[in-house]
Chain A
Amino acid sequence: MDKLINIIELMQSISDKSGINNQFLAILLKITGIAFLTEFGVSVCKDSGESAIASKIEIGSKIIIIYLSIPIISNLLEIITKILP
């Protein structure tokens, strides 16, 4: 657990020095964490023979990931509509 905290702190310090928003890094880390969790859940379900539940867990995690990444996509769309003349 400590090692994860160290990695996350390193990434935060790097992203502080550069110009990006800190929120984006938080979103990315959350998404990665959700992917891990679904991975655990899916493999546990498959191990105990419930592969249908495993695929539903996958679908649920995809929906949550997309929901979390809405700010990023809306940011992108804003910038694109700013460029267009």
Chain B
Amino acid sequence: MKEKVFMIIFLIAIFIGHNTYAVSSDILEEQKENFGISNFVREAEKYSGEFFEGTNITDLLNSAIIGKVDNTSIFKKIINLFGKETIGCIKVLASLLIIIILHSVLKSISDNLESSNVSKIIYYVQYILIVTLITANFADTIQLVKDTADKLVGFMNCLIPLLFSLMLFTGSIVTSSILEPIIIFMINLLGNSINIILIPAVLIITVLSIISKISDNVQIDKLSKLLNSSVIWILGIILTVFVSTISLEGSLSSSVDGISAKTAKAAVSNVIPVVGKILRRRG
């Protein structure tokens, strides 16, 4: 008798209507606010330049969170970027070629003059003109490299807190706590070393090679070759250190993460009697 009453009350309690909430997009927005993703998008737009002007980043992010990543449009944008830069380079090369042709025409006219001094002066003036044009283009390139290095460091500084908070929330505790200071240190090291060491070295190399070609008497060739190879070497060393550190630490700590996650699951499933079996079945 008691059980029947209990059953009836139970059934009534079930069938009184409840308000159920499905997962609406409000929860997505809430989660995004929690992690500060919209902040990140705003900050990142400062650093990524005109790359993302065509598409809408929030739409991309929303569709990526749901699960479908639009590969083709991203690919097309990257190829577009490459194409634009290559065309700009070709234009610069074409103008340089025209100038060198003009220079050779003039030189062939003025080469057979008797007094070699006058022809030497004309040669120097033409050489200075060519060097001027080359240097102007070179200055643009160097400015671009500096800007890119700065933007790289800034973008990474924006991205890494977000990335590591996401990693923390999805479980890889050891990875994020070990990797985060190392990655931030390495990236700042790379960006600053490009700005402080490499670019002045490249400028010095340029100046030295320009000077060494002016006349045959001044021989600074070997010095410029030494600086050239040393710059390439230093860049290679820094990149190798970066890649090897991150890969080592990443693999070590992700294995530790796997171990600790399994340990936590085993502990929970053994200690808590009923709910733990569910975890074990799931895992």
A interface residues, Cβ below 8 angstroms from B: 7, 11, 14-15, 17-20, 24-25, 27-28, 31-32, 35-36, 38-39, 42-43, 58, 61-62, 65-66, 69, 72-73, 75-76, 79-80, 82-85
Contacts and interface: CB of A to CB of B under 8 A. Distances in A.
Interface residues of B, number: 33
The residue in B115, B138, B199, B203 that gathers the most chain A C-beta atoms within 10 A of its C-beta is: B115
Contact of B128 (A7, A14, A76, A84): A76
A31 B139 contact: no
B95 A69 contact: no
Interface in B88-142: 94-95, 98-99, 101-102, 105-106, 109-110, 113-115, 117-119, 121-122, 125-126, 128-129, 131-133, 135-136, 138-139, 142
Contacts of B121: 62, 65-66
A32 B118 contact: no
B193 to A, nearest CB: 15
A43 B114 contact: yes
B139 A65 contact: no
A18 B128 contact: no
A28 B126 contact: yes
Given A15-B99, A43-B114, A82-B139, 4 more contacts: A20-B95, A20-B99, A35-B118, A39-B115
Interface of B: 94-95, 98-99, 101-102, 105-106, 109-110, 113-115, 117-119, 121-122, 125-126, 128-129, 131-133, 135-136, 138-139, 142, 199-200, 203
B143 to A, nearest CB: 9
A28 B135 contact: no
Contacts of A61: 118
Contacts of B109: 32
Contact of A38 (B99, B118, B126): B118
Contacts of A85: 199-200
B125 A31 contact: yes
Given A14-B101, A83-B135, A28 B95 contact: no
Contacts of A43: 114
